[in-house]
Amino acid sequence: MPPADKALPKMPPGMKKPAGKRPAEPGSGEPVSLPVIDEGPSKLTRADFTSDQDVRWCPGCGDYVVLATVQRLMPEFDVPKENVVFISGIGCSSRFPYYMKTYGMHSIHGRAPTIATGLKASRPELDVWIVTGDGDSLSIGGNHIIHLMRRNVNLQILMFNNQIYGLTKGQYSPTSEVGKITKSTPFGSIDHPFNPIALVLGAEATFVARTMDRDPKHMREMIIEAHDHPGTGFLEIYQNCNIFNDGAFFEYTEKATKAASTVEIEHGKPLVYDNGNKGLRLDGFRIESIDLTNGKWSVDDCLVYDETNRDLAGIICRVFWSKDLPQPFGVFYREQRETYEETLHNQIESVIKKVGKGTIEELLHAGDTWLVE
Partner 1 sequence: MSNKAVETISEATVLFAGDSGDGMQVAGTQFTLATAHAMNDLATLPDFPAEIRAPAGTTYGVSGYQLKFGSTDVRTPGDEVDLLVAMNPAALVVNLERVRIGGTILVNINSFNQKGFKLANIESNPLEDGSLDKYRVISVELTRLTRETLADSDLTRKEIDRSKNMFALGLALWMYSRPIKPAEDWLSTKFEKNEPIKNANLLLLRKGYHFGETTEQFAFRYEVNPADLSPGKYRAIQGITALAMGLVAASQKSGLNIFYGSYPITPASDLLHALSRYKNYGVITMQTEDEIAAIGAAIGASFGGNLGVTGTSGPGLALKTEAANLALIAELPLVIINVMRGGPSTGLPTKTEQSDLLQAMYGRNGDSPLPVIASSTPGDCFETAYEACRIAVKYMTPVILLVDGYLANGAQPWLIPEADSLPDFDVKFAARRKSSENGEDAFLPYLRDEQTQARPWATPGTPGLEHRIGGLEKENISGNVSYEPDNHQLMTDLRAEKVERVKAEHTPLKIFGEDSGDLLIIGWGSTKGSIEAAVAKARNGGLSVGAVHLRFLNPLTDELAEIAARYKKWLVPELNNGQLVKILRDRFLLDMTALNKVQGMPFRASEISEKISEMIG
Ligand X SMILES: Cc1ncc(C[n+]2csc(CCOP(=O)(O)OP(=O)(O)O)c2C)c(N)n1
Pick what 168 binds: ligand SF4, partner 1, ligand X, none; C-beta below 5 to 8 Å, kind-dependent: ligand X
Does residue 326 interact with partner 1 by CB under 8 A? no
Whole-number Å distance between alpha carbons of 69 and 304: 30
Contact call for residue 115 and partner 1 (CB under 8 A): yes
225 binds ligand X (CB under 6 A): no
**Which of 44, 58, 108, 315 touches ligand SF4 by CB under 6 A?**
58
Establish if 133 lies at the interface with Mg ion (CB under 5 A): yes
Among residue numbers 145 through 184, which ones bind partner 1 (CB under 8 A)? 147
Residue 191 forms beta bridges with which residues? none
Residue 34 in contact with partner 1, rule: CB under 8 A: no
Q: Is 96 in the site for ligand X (CB under 6 A)?
A: no
Candidates 67, 92, 121, 325: give the one binding ligand X (CB under 6 A): 92
Distances (CA, A) of 257 to 88, 252, 265, 267, 334: 33, 6, 18, 24, 29
**Can you tell me which of 166, 196, 233, 328 binds ligand SF4, judged by CB under 6 A?**
166
Contact with ligand SF4 (CB under 6 A) among 15, 61, 200, 205: 61
Nearest 10 degrees: CA dihedral of 348, 350, 353, 354? -110
Q: Could you tell me if 160 and 239 are in contact, meaning their C-beta atoms sit under 8 angstroms apart?
A: yes
Cβ-based nearer residue to ligand X, 88 or 339: 88
What is the DSSP code string of 51-80? Answer: -SSPP-SPTT-THHHHHHHHHHHGGGSSS-
Rounded CA separation 332/266 (Å): 8
Does residue 147 touch ligand X according to CB under 6 A? Answer: no
Query: Which 3 state secondary structure label does DSSP give 231?
Result: coil
- Figure out which of the listed residues 78, 283, 300, 368 binds partner 1, where binding follows CB under 8 A: 368
Residues 6+ apart with CB under 8 A from 46: 68, 71, 72, 74, 75
Binding site for ligand X (CB under 6 A): 90-93, 109, 133-136, 160, 162, 164-168, 173
Binding site for ligand SF4 (CB under 6 A): 57-58, 61, 63, 92, 162, 166, 241-244
